Structure 1
């Protein structure tokens, strides 16, 4: 439920609403809403319907909502990791070539002796 609370907090911030604003619209106390955002309180289906309506989205959209900025960061992170993986792959190929060269060198020395 902490993830849902984070999503709700993010949506609230995007709307520029305070916890008090949302609590009033949901007809609950500020501490009760704060507990929802922090994940202390589990949200029942009727409260989930209220919250999703408040943010003008379906329950499914609310539950699957992802921060667009976080998605950009994740894409950027993925790009960095992908580049690092490619570089490591090239290093492995170089090391394999060195192993083959050393093996060939050892083999030629044995054949020479």
Structure 2
């Protein structure tokens, strides 16, 4: 199985849509240099940005990530340097499992925050 880099895939999909780096950067509220760095695998890409890219390129997020080794960075509002790990997308099933686990973690975090809000309102 030949693996394709995420940056190569982003560039290919952007070309297929006929978008320039400047155009996609503007749509995503990023700089052209950031798009260039993404396409050349010189930067990590946040999960939020990956979602925006998949929407803009009209491609499913799982399709975008399949057959790639992707470093996913998740930043929270308290610490912009937080790095939460690497997703190795060897098989779509593994990616789905990883994403489901992350979704459950986020649901639990939201539940705790909601409970704290209720307590603070009392």
- Output the TM-score relative to the length of structure 2: 0.50
Max radius of gyration: which structure? 1
Say which structure is richer in helix: 1
Alignment partner, residue 77 of structure 1: none
Q: CA deviation at 1:64?
A: 2.0
- Inter-partner Cα distance in structure 2 for 1:56 and 1:16: 13
Aligned partner of 1:56 among 55, 58, 68: 58
| Cα RMSD, aligned residues only | 1.9
Aligned partner of 2:48 among 46, 49, 67: 46
Residue by residue, what CA displacement relative to the aligned partner does 1:19-50 show, whole Å, maximum 9, x if unpaired? Answer: 00110011001101110110001111001100
- Inter-partner Cα distance in structure 1 for 2:8 and 2:34: 15
Alignment partner, residue 82 of structure 1: none
Say which structure is richer in strand: 2
Alignment partner, residue 33 of structure 1: 35
Q: CA deviation at 1:56?
A: 1.2
Aligned partner of 2:9 among 7, 10, 16: 7
Question: How many equivalent pairs are there?
Answer: 65
Q: What SS does structure 1 have at the residue aligned with 2:5? A: helix
Contact kept? 1:7, 1:65, Cα under 8 Å: no
Q: Structure 2 regions of 5+ residues with no counterpart?
A: 69-122
Alignment partner, residue 72 of structure 1: none
- Output the TM-score relative to the length of structure 1: 0.53
Q: What SS does structure 2 have at the residue aligned with 1:28? A: coil
